[in-house]
Structure 1
Amino acid sequence: MSTKDDLMDNAEADSRKFIHVQDEHLDTEHEQRIAWWREAKVGVFIHWGLYSLPGGIWKGETVNAAYAEHLQLRAQIPIQEYEQIAGQFHAVQFDAQQWVHTVKAAGFHYMIFTAKHHDGFAMYDSAVSDYNIVKATPFGRDPVAELADACRKEELALCLYYSHAMDWHHPDSQGNTLDFPDNIGAYDPLESWVKDSDKSARYERYLEEKAYPQVTELLTQYGPVGTIWFDCGHKVTDEQGTHFVDLVHGLQAGCLVNRRVRREGFGDYENTGDNQLHIRAPRRDWESIATLNHSWGYNQTDHQWRSPQDILRDMTNVVSMGGNYVINIGPTGEGAFDPKSLELLAEIGSWLKQNGESIYGTVKSPIGKMPWGRCTRKGNTLFLHVWEWPAQGELLVPGIRNPIQHAYLLADEHKDPLPLRQINAFGDMAIQLPQNPIDPYCSVIALEFKGKLDVKTCQVVFGGVSNRLSVFDGELQGTTLRFDTGKKGRDNVRDWHKIEDYVQWTFRVASRGTYKVLVVYGANEISAGGSFVISAGQERITAAVELTGGEYEFKEHAAGQLLFADEAELVLTIRPEKINGDVLMNLKEIILISL
């Protein structure tokens, strides 16, 4: 079900088992290197290259590629033809100062610029290869030099993307089998060629001739670089990945390396997959990357723009889980941010101007995910990001046993106190809110408490709301059941082949009573079917799997009711009773609604 573009993404989001990662807290150099990044929290990705000029169209035809920057590969354009784009690359609207000012005004603290993408074209002045923007285009300027200068003036951290694993212009690299038929293919796994002496030797020659020297240029020509952002590390060996890490840290000890330099456990921090909504991060430091529409590079036919609300919910969700959030802009071939991107950046900037305190320098939520939104923390303040304004006028907040000094809307310049009351011995409280939200997208409530935080992180089930138990917040048990990619439409478990495999969640009931149980899943007549059992405490219900029209056609199905007689901690489990087909179903979530 993965697209070809997804195969460029080595986030391994569907893995059930995580490689043990050494505790970076023991590494003083790492802690010093990562400090600014933890404070920054939000950044911008900029994909700009030769591919930006055609913008997803080649010879009058729309190219069948979700990502416009993959134009050369997906349209099967020979090098000699693709090189001709450089002769038309005037970029008359490029203004580094304007780019950086726009990014800074939108509230972002770092910029990741594509110094070289998979097409092998360097967007800076490279002595290693004449295939670069200064020597091969009429534009004739060095954007990285200009951006570095502008970033220093605006105090924005400049980071540089470098496609180290693939280069479609170099005869010994990977990905271009049109011009170089004996090359390693763009989708060939590492295992298919690593023991091939000819391909391995040629690929090592590419690394020595181009990749290592160009990374050296980027780290010696432009001053301090916040991160060298590598990509497609699943296509290099552990030894090669380690060489890149050591090269970067040797040239600039303060420069970060992302995990896509090789695989999980490498580099200074983890990455999600592209536009991955759900993640189970094995490390403290991780980063989520997302697009404003669908493509990363400019695509003139892509009008699937996300809403400001969607972007801000994505951002607050990521930061509430301890991650950094990076949103992408694909400038036009002329070097301008398109009007819709500017509109969205302005909306995000306006929100961050009011609520940035709840994002910058915060750590992950100590109270988990709430039905109404998310939470972040900074020192002795919790920031409650309210996506769904409670109709009953009270916001239910779980398990904070500390004395509360002050509760107020962050965007309220007067910081008028919000009334609150404790509702049980667990420390659950109800905050009285105004009738209407103060922000149309996400209102933030600051909750200042005294003393060392006394709270148990556990999902809490409240009455009066839809309590969603996502599979990515549960635990998988068994040998075949695993998480899907976590991207949109793939935020489910898959490969439920064995009757012994199951999913379970631990939660605390804050509102006793009877709850309607809805199960959200996809199932088709070919591979799925059977029945399942949902149990919690002494309660148990059984339901049959109903066909939904497809394994990724997710629908809600009423499974029955569960009675939670006590305010207590419970484990809810869903197990197969019978599997008729190859798999039981693709489960997405369970919803509990009080009756």
Structure 2
Amino acid sequence: MATIDHLMDNAESDSRLFKQQEALRVNKAREDRIAWWREAKVGLFIHWGLYAVPGGVWNGETVHAAYAEHLQLRARIPREEYARIAESFTASGFQAEAWVRAAKEAGLRYLIFTAKHHDGFAMYDSKVSDYNIVQATPFGRDPVAELAEACRQEDVRLCLYYSHAMDWHHPDSQGNTLDFPGNIGAYDTLESWIHDSDKRTRYERYLEEKAFPQLHEMLTQYGPIGIVWFDCGHKVTDEQGRRFEDWVHDLQNTCLVNRRVRRSGFGDYENTGDNQLHVRQLERDWESIATLNHSWGYNQTDQNWRSLKDVLHDMINVVSMGGNYVINVGPTGAGEFDPVSLERLQGIGRWLKVNGDSIYGTERSPIGKTPWGRSTWKGQTLYLHIWTWPQQGRLFVPGLRNAIRRAYLLADPKREELVCQVVNSEGDFAVHLPATPLDAICTVVAVEFEGELQANPCPVVFPDGETTVFSVFDGELSGSALRLDTGKAGRDVVKDWHHVHDAIVWPVRLVTPGAYRLTAVYGAEESSAGGTFEVSAGNQSLIAEVRGTGGGYIFQSFDIGDLYFPEVGEYAVQVKPLEISGEVLMQLKEIRITLTSGTGS
């Protein structure tokens, strides 16, 4: 028996060693294939398909869909009627070289093209299904082949989007219950059908007949692909998601797979939600995707264009948090970028041409968020992205403990040195700037330092009386029910604040003794929210009563009161209910802290 036990122990030891070696092998493979992506930082998404021809309008009426590419689903267009759009798809203005050149000139390092969206129409030459752009349209050409060649010429990485989970054309897939009433519905949860043997069997048939074979085509017909970008992975099982991930890596082991192949933890990196402006600080590599207006596919009625300032600040914010940023264009049915999209891309390109060193290959801010803008770093240089130019010409920079070699404006061709003044022993310093910025949207200061980076990321309440904002997305939640909303515009709140034991805490560093004003910004529906809450820091606290704002997503700011701190240092600011008199306490958006009187920094 002792001999058997000994052999069993060896078997377990060998098994553990094998698993460890396999994990190292898999991790090294991922590190090798993601290296280019980490350097690239910014990319271009292109949504182009049959839906671009009607451009959000069907039978003369605007279709009120979230996105124009959802036209078939939201307008309830029968499959065969929708397919007839292909007869007028001439794409007379399409030029792959023009698309890729626009991405290149915008400073965007990779291009993600929609090879097949939820409508099931392949935008490449597919032998698996004749429902594709080469066989079904008068255009009759393969855009992916032409884009692959153009990307090689311009040194832009070609990536392909593929809707693996939904296909509204295939009789056994998900989403089209208009033509196929027995199908899985577009909004059906995984749990609602996974134990239905008929639906699961039919769905597996779709995967085997179309999804996997088309994926094989995409990865064997066009040379190296940077990413296969999957979508709606919440509609497939873990096992199915893993099969897709393995399928890609087996065919091209240098090709990345995004998280939406299934869920968080799958693929090579994470994705945020569409146009998600507020995110938690993620430890894993991640990517944010955003549109220039609202829709992803071309929508002729959508004139809600974002400003260049908004896009650039969004990009800088994402990169400062360690993410990649991908901006989307939806070309017209003719295959052309609209003038506003081109203008925005050109603006991005002008800024990156001057300031690209502060974006490409950089890492997340080592000093946290600041009221004046954001930061990145690379090597021995800290990049300060200044959105709000200091009126007194003195920029307070917190938490860099390294000795500073020199500082200069990145856009200054002469790189004249700026005066830096050490403020205290905590690594805080001030940069003295010219009276006006070189770029009204964002001027970048490069600060070269000595040695290995040493920084304090704890958020600082600024000493000059400027308000410092602490978003709920930057706090730590505790309790059983409290959770973050989607983080999209107007949805950057905590919700489900049902229990008095649930709380949110922010680490805060004060660099000036004195009195600090605390302000809460929240939404509260009078009929369902109410109670009292405590805002505390150190051994001090303030108590406030929740006041109605007219709705949970109608925000107002309320001064809570002042706290006096005789000593500098790090504190934990906590918001916690004392009593909840409604269904919820409130929907808190942020806490603002302002030095109202102090002894100076």
Which TM-score band (shorter chain)? over 0.9
- Tell me the equivalent position of 2:471: 470
- Tell me the equivalent position of 2:499: 498
SS of the residue corresponding to residue 576 of structure 1 reads strand
Distance 1:293 1:453 in 2: 39
1:302-326 C-alpha deviation (Å, 9 max, x unpaired) = 0110011111111011001110000
Runs (4+) off by over 6 Å: 22-26
- Tell me the equivalent position of 1:544: 545
- Tell me the equivalent position of 1:562: 563
- Tell me the equivalent position of 1:507: 508
- Tell me the equivalent position of 1:255: 255
SS of the residue corresponding to residue 370 of structure 2 reads coil
SS of the residue corresponding to residue 594 of structure 1 reads strand
- Tell me the equivalent position of 1:571: 572
Distance 2:493 2:438 in 1: 34
Aligned residues of 1:269 and 1:283 also touching (Cα < 8 A): no
Distance 1:232 1:281, change over 3 A: farther
Letter in 2 for 1:339: P
- Tell me the equivalent position of 2:389: 389
Report deviation, 1:246.
0.7
Distance 1:24 1:79, change over 3 A: farther
Distance 1:291 1:566 in 2: 46
- Tell me the equivalent position of 2:131: 131
Letter in 1 for 2:562: Q
Report deviation, 1:26.
7.2
RMSD of the TM alignment (CA)?
1.2
Distance 1:417 1:199 in 2: 68
Report deviation, 1:503.
0.5
Aligned residues of 1:94 and 1:335 also touching (Cα < 8 A): yes
Report deviation, 1:25.
9.9
The higher-RCO structure (CA 8 Å, 6+ apart) is: 1
1:526-570 C-alpha deviation (Å, 9 max, x unpaired) = 110111110111221111111111001111111111212211110
- Tell me the equivalent position of 1:366: 366
SS of the residue corresponding to residue 273 of structure 2 reads strand
Provide TM-score, normalisation by structure 1. Answer: 0.95
Distance 1:28 1:504 in 2: 37
1:25-53 C-alpha deviation (Å, 9 max, x unpaired) = 97110000000000000000000000001
Report deviation, 1:392.
2.2
Do structure 1's residue 587 and structure 2's residue 576 form an aligned pair? no
Distance 2:320 2:24 in 1: 21
1:485-521 C-alpha deviation (Å, 9 max, x unpaired) = 1111111100000011111011110122212111000
- Tell me the equivalent position of 2:76: 76
Unaligned segments of structure 1, at least 5 residues: 1-21
Letter in 2 for 1:476: L
SS of the residue corresponding to residue 247 of structure 1 reads helix
Aligned residues of 1:24 and 1:30 also touching (Cα < 8 A): no
1:276-318 C-alpha deviation (Å, 9 max, x unpaired) = 0122254431000000000000000001100111111110110
Distance 1:24 1:48, change over 3 A: farther
Letter in 2 for 1:81: E
Distance 2:391 2:591 in 1: 22
Letter in 2 for 1:269: Y
Distance 2:569 2:99 in 1: 53
Report deviation, 1:411.
0.4
- Tell me the equivalent position of 1:3: none
- Tell me the equivalent position of 1:50: 50
SS of the residue corresponding to residue 384 of structure 1 reads strand
- Tell me the equivalent position of 1:5: none
Letter in 1 for 2:51: Y
Distance 1:296 1:370, change over 3 A: same
- Tell me the equivalent position of 1:19: none
Letter in 2 for 1:481: L
Distance 1:67 1:172 in 2: 24
1:321-365 C-alpha deviation (Å, 9 max, x unpaired) = 110000000000000000000111111110000100000000111
Letter in 1 for 2:473: F
Q: Which aligned pairs between 1:19-418 and structure 2 lie closer than 5 A?
A: 27-418=27-418
Aligned residues of 1:25 and 1:31 also touching (Cα < 8 A): no
Aligned residues of 1:24 and 1:31 also touching (Cα < 8 A): no
- Tell me the equivalent position of 1:529: 530
Distance 2:526 2:508 in 1: 33
Aligned residues of 1:532 and 1:544 also touching (Cα < 8 A): yes
Letter in 1 for 2:579: K
Distance 2:459 2:26 in 1: 30
Distance 2:294 2:565 in 1: 43
Aligned residues of 1:400 and 1:455 also touching (Cα < 8 A): yes
Report deviation, 1:23.
9.1
Letter in 1 for 2:133: I
Letter in 2 for 1:454: Q
Distance 1:574 1:56 in 2: 44
1:408-441 C-alpha deviation (Å, 9 max, x unpaired) = 0100001111111011111100111111111011
Distance 2:282 2:208 in 1: 32
1:95-135 C-alpha deviation (Å, 9 max, x unpaired) = 00011001100000000000000000000000000000000
SS of the residue corresponding to residue 38 of structure 1 reads helix
Distance 2:196 2:232 in 1: 20
Letter in 2 for 1:333: G
1:194-252 C-alpha deviation (Å, 9 max, x unpaired) = 01000000000000000000000000000000000000000001111011011100000
Letter in 1 for 2:417: P
Q: Which moved more, 1:30-39 or 1:556-565?
A: 556-565
Computing the radius of gyration over CA atoms, which structure comes out larger, 1 or 2? 2
- Tell me the equivalent position of 2:486: 485
Letter in 1 for 2:63: V
Distance 2:195 2:281 in 1: 32
Distance 2:23 2:300 in 1: 44
Aligned residues of 2:393 and 2:433 also touching (Cα < 8 A): yes
SS of the residue corresponding to residue 76 of structure 2 reads coil
SS of the residue corresponding to residue 273 of structure 1 reads coil
Q: Which moved more, 1:477-486 or 1:453-462?
A: 453-462
Distance 1:58 1:94 in 2: 23
Aligned residues of 1:284 and 1:322 also touching (Cα < 8 A): no
- Tell me the equivalent position of 2:14: none
Distance 1:467 1:24 in 2: 43
Distance 1:546 1:525 in 2: 8
Aligned residues of 2:461 and 2:595 also touching (Cα < 8 A): no
Aligned length: 574
Distance 1:563 1:212 in 2: 63
SS of the residue corresponding to residue 288 of structure 2 reads strand
Letter in 2 for 1:420: C
Distance 2:485 2:139 in 1: 44
Distance 1:363 1:401 in 2: 17
Q: Which moved more, 1:25-34 or 1:111-120?
A: 25-34
Distance 1:588 1:321, change over 3 A: same
Distance 2:286 2:455 in 1: 24
Provide TM-score, normalisation by structure 2. Answer: 0.94
SS of the residue corresponding to residue 87 of structure 1 reads helix
- Tell me the equivalent position of 2:419: 419
Letter in 2 for 1:144: V
Distance 1:588 1:288, change over 3 A: same
Aligned residues of 2:281 and 2:474 also touching (Cα < 8 A): no
